[in-house]
Structure 1
Amino acid sequence: MKTNTQSINQVIPVAKTKKKIAPSRILLHIALTIGAIIMVFPFLWTISSSLKDMSQIFAVPPVWIPDPIVWSNYVDSFTAMPFGRAYWNSFYITVVVVVAQLFTGSMAAYAFAKLRFRGSGLLFILFLATMMIPKQVTMIPLYLIMDKINWLDTHLTLIVPGALFNAFAVFLLRQFIRGIPKELEEAAVMDGANPFRIYWSVILPLIRPALAAVGIFIFMGTYNNFIDALIYLSTPENFTVPLLLNNFKGLYVTNWSYMMAGATISVVPVIIVYLFAQRHIIEGVTLTGIKG
């Protein structure tokens, strides 16, 4: 009988005890939940305000659920300003800058990661040091340059400077490229490939996760760029979405309902891009952090 009991115990595994959750982990989740609520609160308030009339926006106590819901704010805000034109301006400027920065940034990253030349280390340090220069320092010199070449009030002022230089993108891509085995390059050299051919046929296909992550960061930064558009653009037909939203703010009266409706519409492309590409952001940043 004893032998049978032992054999049964061997066949039927003893139920595992439930793993206790540490109090620190519970506190961490509570803190993250509170932080998430704080972060999403302004966006929810924007959506709520976009469906109110002016009397409800400044009501005390605050009105959380609009009554009545003013759906016409979206139609009126879209027709009050040339939002269709502004959307097109923001879209094509952003796409051009993203493509150009990924191309120039990946080439620079490949040069710094794989091509050895005199002073490459020092040059890369100086290149990264430009990230510490505040944007306010370069505003006036860049404005004077754009004025001299007659580019003011054109989209070239938003495309060319941003497309040719992004130290952050070069840094992330370089970290990823450094982790690519050297044997792949040597095999390409044996097949007669030159450096550009290696970059185009070997390196680029292998750094797609990093390119996706960097591209999304560039997309968000360029699409939401307000200060550059404010400095260089003066014609409403050339305005981007963030700059056009600023026109709802008048000298004496600001139509907050229209501004909130326009702001809600303007963030839709960014949210869509992030939702579809968040996996690439996490994967790309993680890989660039462990490579090299």
Structure 2
Amino acid sequence: MTVLSSPAVARAPRSAVRPAPLRNRVAVFLKYLSLVLSCAVVVVPLAAVLLTSLRTSKEMATGGALAAPHDWFNLHNYAVAFTDGNMLRALGNTTFILVFSVTGTVLIGSMTAYAIDRFTFRFRRLVMALFLIASLVPSVTTQVATYQIVNRLGVMDTRWAPVLLYMGTDIVSIYIFLQFIRSIPISLDEAARLDGANSFTIYWRIIVPLLKPAIATVVIVKGVAIYNDFYIPFLYMPDDSLGTISTSLFRFKGPYGAHWEVISAGAALVIIPSLVVFLALQRFIYNGFASGATK
């Protein structure tokens, strides 16, 4: 009883425990500070573009990038950017490329994953290794050969040129489909074969309906990448009438090089659709990657 009431022994645990709460508070503070800084890096440029697009040329000369506009409903810059920048035609070209490219990516990627997982053949590991090696090679180093191939195919300066290039399925899409297909029991394939179904019927009637989460993930990730891409449309579709969202905005900068309020309105028109789609469908992206990683 005397030992328990000793002041030296009673104070020792307190002094040993005190630093722990301080370290925890510092860790929590640093965690939230890093989150705030990360959000600021993303949000501040978007806010600057939005505020600039709502200001007039006179307000641009007197205020900074984050200065509030006098009229929050000033849509004149958006009207100029939409009409003079041919955004409607660019949206049509982008939609055409998106639909065919994403559809081809889903079909090729899912078929490739189905063949790799369900069929036993020689050099199967080599095929996966080649896909991985191809994804690691910088695309810039192969652009000369790729340009010559596209030119020889006769699709240069047409909307089919980027479609063919985008349909080249990357290793990420194959990996997502492969993880989901591995979670599908092979007994379903065997039962279908007993009923007389061939490999394509099994793929189309059984595998594809069960790949809806993976398809949603690939469609969103691939679609956003194609929507934001500038290099391929600019190189393989130099005609102004074939401009996409990104290339039309780049060409639009010419006559409005000094009018940043109009250029910002054009940039906002490009950003808003992809931002709305991402915010509406972001749960499919996270769920798709999480399921593909755990299955």
1:87 to 88, 91, 107: 91
Match of 1:71 in 2: 75
Do residues 131 (structure 1) and 138 (structure 2) align? Answer: no
1:198 to 194, 197, 202: 202
Do residues 53 (structure 1) and 72 (structure 2) align? Answer: no
What does the per-residue CA deviation read over 1:65-89, in whole Å, with 9 as the maximum and x for residues that have no partner? 0235542101111111221111111
Match of 1:27 in 2: 30
Distance in 2 separating the partners of 1:110 and 1:197: 12
Is the contact between residue 53 and residue 264 of structure 2 (CA under 8 Å) also seen in structure 1?
yes
- How many residues are paired up? 272
Match of 1:184 in 2: 188
What does the per-residue CA deviation read over 1:29-61, in whole Å, with 9 as the maximum and x for residues that have no partner? 332133112211111111111112345446565
Match of 1:13 in 2: none
Match of 1:245 in 2: 249
Match of 2:215 in 1: 211
Match of 2:105 in 1: 101
Is the contact between residue 256 and residue 262 of structure 2 (CA under 8 Å) also seen in structure 1?
no
Kindly state the Cα deviation for residue 182 of structure 1 after the two structures are TM-superposed. Answer: 1.8
SS of residue in 2 equivalent to 1:267: helix
Is the contact between residue 78 and residue 262 of structure 2 (CA under 8 Å) also seen in structure 1?
yes
Match of 1:273 in 2: 277
Larger displacement relative to structure 2 (160-169 or 83-92): 160-169
Kindly state the Cα deviation for residue 178 of structure 1 after the two structures are TM-superposed. Answer: 1.4
Kindly state the Cα deviation for residue 114 of structure 1 after the two structures are TM-superposed. Answer: 1.6
Distance change (3 Å), C-alpha of 1:114 and 1:29: farther
Distance in 1 separating the partners of 2:275 and 2:66: 26
Is the contact between residue 216 and residue 284 of structure 2 (CA under 8 Å) also seen in structure 1?
yes
1:221 to 207, 225, 228: 225
Match of 2:12 in 1: none
Match of 1:285 in 2: 289
Distance change (3 Å), C-alpha of 1:77 and 1:251: closer
Paired residues for 1:106-185 under 5 Å: 106-185=110-189
Is the contact between residue 248 and residue 258 of structure 1 (CA under 8 Å) also seen in structure 2?
no
Distance in 1 separating the partners of 2:133 and 2:59: 49
Kindly state the Cα deviation for residue 160 of structure 1 after the two structures are TM-superposed. Answer: 1.3
Match of 2:47 in 1: 44
Larger displacement relative to structure 2 (281-290 or 51-60): 51-60
- Runs of 4 or more, structure 1, over 6 Å off, are none
Is the contact between residue 57 and residue 63 of structure 1 (CA under 8 Å) also seen in structure 2?
no
Distance change (3 Å), C-alpha of 1:31 and 1:124: same
SS of residue in 1 equivalent to 2:167: helix
Larger displacement relative to structure 2 (177-186 or 227-236): 177-186
Kindly state the Cα deviation for residue 97 of structure 1 after the two structures are TM-superposed. Answer: 0.8
Is the contact between residue 49 and residue 260 of structure 1 (CA under 8 Å) also seen in structure 2?
yes
Kindly state the Cα deviation for residue 126 of structure 1 after the two structures are TM-superposed. Answer: 1.0
Distance in 1 separating the partners of 2:286 and 2:197: 33
Distance change (3 Å), C-alpha of 1:178 and 1:63: closer
Kindly state the Cα deviation for residue 134 of structure 1 after the two structures are TM-superposed. Answer: 0.8
SS of residue in 2 equivalent to 1:78: helix
Distance in 2 separating the partners of 1:140 and 1:284: 36
What does the per-residue CA deviation read over 1:13-37, in whole Å, with 9 as the maximum and x for residues that have no partner? xxxxxxx995334532332133112
Q: Structure 2-normalised TM-score?
A: 0.85
For residue 270 of structure 1, what is the amino acid of its counterpart? S
